[in-house]
Chains A and B, each alone.
Chain A
Amino acid sequence: MTDAPAIEITRLVKRFGDAVALDGIDLAVPQGSVFGFLGPNGAGKTTALRILTGLARPTSGEARILGQNASAAGSAVRAQIGYLPDVPGFYSWMNALELVEYAGRIFGIERRALRERAESLLEMAGLTGVRQKVGGFSRGMKQRLGIAQALINAPSVLLLDEPTSALDPIGRRDVLEMIASLRGRTTVFFSTHILADVERVCDTVAILDRGRVVANAPIDDLKRRATADRLVLELDGDPAMLISEIEKRPWVNAIERSGEQITLAVTDLRSAQHELPAVIAAAGLGLKRLEGAEKSLEDMFVELVERTEQ
């Protein structure tokens, strides 16, 4: 593996008439990573994936996959990619095994190896022994079949568009475990609006809103960044008096109270840490706890999306 990103998106713009689906996004997805592409519905996630798979063309900018321009990528690049669309379409007259084998034949996999691989992928997808035609599958079954067919060529890059959206909790857990197991061997780029999925398996996350990347960082960095401007105080006594005192300080951005606990959003963490103990003591209260508050990814997501809306 080289150090070059598996996926590189540069100033990518996609317009549909007057509507801007992607507004100059930049991304780099390291090889072997599990990359979460997070955003609310309509943020532009599917459009970006369609451009990466060559199904759509950018208005301007460039999307490169495995070093090649995605719009001009030929069969050699597509042979190294697995793709699951958000609503997978299958030939309704095929059964699951026929469909996965059809996908494998396109990649030129030899017949015997193909049968073994198809059966093992169907087992992973929980579809072993299902003989009914795909036309009669539920949405969840189709999604699991979609994941199986996307993996038939042991892809270098796996592109998944909302892979868990139609799954029950057990199916979702299985798919996330499968994604996590690919770490290091396959670059997984998956779009979702389910924050818990991203927190569970992703190394890096980009948050997309209204066609713009509003955050892009390793998930631990993102969480660390989120704790940097928040403090939690747990007090021994009623904090009402203290709140009015703290509000006067120039480094305070926002205050939330919950019983004896106060959460502060601060602009200058150092000043806050220095001054708070004295202010608390002056108010006649005891300090039980003073620490950085960890924001969940959900808090960050909502905050970032709301910020762009404003």
Chain B
Amino acid sequence: MSGFSTFLAKEFTEIRKTWRIWVIPGMLLFFAITSPIIADITPALMASISKSQPGMKVQMPPATWRDSYAQFLKSLSQMVLIAVVITGAGAVSGERSSGTAVLTLTKPVSRGSFVLAKIVSQAGLLIGATVVSTAVCALLTIMIFGQSPLTPLLASVSIWTIDAVLLIVVMTLFSAGFASRGASAGAGLGFFFLTLIISIWPPANRYSFVGLTSVSGKALMQQPTAAFWPVATAVVAALLCAWGAVRVFEKQEL
């Protein structure tokens, strides 16, 4: 693909040299550090709250490594995915409005390469930061709880990563399609909450990518789950959205 590697290298340099290095990786690392600590102190916190409220009695079992992982996964599935929406909203529209897309696209860089490099760089940043933060979470969990089985953590975080990468591709499509960053962020948030609502419907949850969150949760709890359809439909949806983003951007006038 014309100009792909040069533009991708520019994207990674931009991530390293600008605010982009701090947002998603910063959030992931923050949740990796705080999740085991929050899981550890939550029972004591609840006990102290129940003591201050006459007539209220809260009984919680002692926290375990699973609570630490669950806290981490909950943060990923909510806060980090919303951050993915917000940061991804300007991926293409930001370059278009600042005029930098013109700088690059009047040289031998195809629009397809431009869009795909955006997806690869964002996914690369997310995957790299997820690997590091998962390792940090596992390390802190073993330090606090004495054990940290990796299989459920890796399985659940891997499923979450597929969900997050799909969201990156969807956001790239919106960013290519909408003129402003705000409009694509709005559409992205709409998509995010719509998938949450649709996931309540059992067939959708079982046979489409909207079920990835529950598959991830079940993997953490080591419950039997069928991941094939959610994962397969996520991969197909990501490929279709990537293709759509390229086609939409190719048809646009800059």
- Which residues of A pack against B, CB within 8 Å? 50, 53-57, 74-76, 78-79, 81, 83, 85, 87-91, 93, 102-103, 105-108, 149, 153
Contacts and interface: CB of A to CB of B under 8 A. Distances in A.
Interface in B1-41: 2-3, 6-7, 9-10, 14, 17-18
Nearest to A89: B99
A56 B254 contact: yes
Give the size category of B's interface with A.
20 to 34
B102 A102 contact: no
A183 B108 CA distance: 24
| Nearest 10 CB-CB pairings of A with B | A89-B99, A75-B108, A75-B2, A56-B253, A83-B106, A55-B254, A106-B107, A79-B108, A89-B100, A105-B6
Interface of B: 2-3, 6-7, 9-10, 14, 17-18, 98-110, 253-254
Interface centre among A75, A78, A87, A106 (most CB of B within 10 A): A106
Contact of B106 (A81, A87, A90): A81
A241 to B, nearest CB: 63
B117 to A, nearest CB: 12
A266 B6 CA distance: 62
B17 A106 contact: no
A85 B2 CA distance: 22
Contacts, number: 68
A212 B129 CA distance: 55
B108 A78 contact: yes
Nearest to A57: B253
Contacts of A108: 108
For the residues of A in contact with B, the DSSP-based class is: loop
Contact of A93 (B3, B14, B106): B14
Contacts of B100: 89-91
From A90, A105, A107, name the one whose CB has the most chain B CB atoms within 10 angstroms.
A105
A83 B99 CA distance: 13
B106 A55 contact: yes
Given A50-B253, A74-B2, 15 more contacts: A50-B254, A54-B106, A55-B106, A74-B110, A75-B2, A75-B110, A78-B106, A78-B108, A88-B103, A89-B100, A90-B99, A90-B100, A103-B103, A106-B109, A149-B103
A57 B251 CA distance: 9
A90 B253 contact: no
A85 B106 CA distance: 10
Given A106-B104, A106-B109, A87 B3 contact: no
20 contacts: A50-B253, A54-B105, A54-B106, A56-B253, A74-B2, A75-B2, A85-B103, A87-B99, A89-B100, A90-B100, A91-B10, A91-B14, A91-B100, A103-B103, A105-B6, A106-B6, A106-B7, A106-B104, A106-B108, A108-B108
